[in-house]
Amino acid sequence: MKQYPIIIYPDNNITILLFKNVENSKEIKELITNNQMECAIANCKPIYDHQQILIAATRSIGCLLEAKKPNYNINKDIINRLSPSGNYTEAFNNFGLNSDDKEFFVFLFNASEDKIKKIREVIKGEEVDISNNTINPFFDVESAKKLYKITESDLPTNLEQNDEFFEKLKRLIINNMAIKGLL
């Protein structure tokens, strides 16, 4: 578990949990779909590190505080903000929880210990310790390249996946998230 303040909205924070070997994804998806869990759950494969999550969370908090939309759901919005597409259905198909997912992220805004405990009780899987590492151990390069429409020509020419490769990939992912809706 890792908790971050939302710097430009200092009264807010996001808690990130990562789970693996989850056995009840179908049940969890139903709870999420029916708004019976106060959290967001995201496919972890296209998420490289916590910076992606923090950018999406900051934009979601900003929308919540500044837009004053009556039916705004921050837990749905963060999933949409992770996507480079402006299409909610596409965002949820690519970044939301699938019934057969075994690994996923859980995001909670301004969560109390009790709320975190309740989420942990529902999920039948192993929590991954992410307190000292912000890089996602389940990151899938090919999944990210496909979803963020990143081509081989966008990346360093040597095909070795080293630090330079991942830094460039991360910048491209964040850029695609940032320009969403502007093109």
Q: pLDDT tens digits for 16-46?
A: 999 999 999 999 999 999 999 999 999 999 9
Q: What is the pLDDT of residue 181?
A: 60
Q: pLDDT tens digits for 93-104?
A: 999 999 999 999
> Residue 172: pLDDT band by 50, 70, 90 thresholds?
very high
Provide the 8-state DSSP code for 96: B
Domains located in the chain, CATH noted: 2-178 (3.30.2380.10)
Q: Answer whether residue 118 shows pLDDT above 60.
A: yes
* C-alpha–C-alpha distance, residues 78 and 60, integer Å: 6
3 neighbors 14 (Cβ within 8 angstroms): yes
- Nearest of 85, 20, 17, 61 to residue 93 by alpha carbon: 85
For the chain, what is the total number of helices (H) and then of strands (E)? Answer: 7, 5
Q: pLDDT tens digits for 50-66?
A: 999 999 999 999 988 88
Q: What is the pTM of this model?
A: 0.93
Q: What is the DSSP string of 97-154?
A: --TT-S-EEEEEES--HHHHHHHHHH--SEEE--TT--B-TT--HHHHHHHTT--GGG
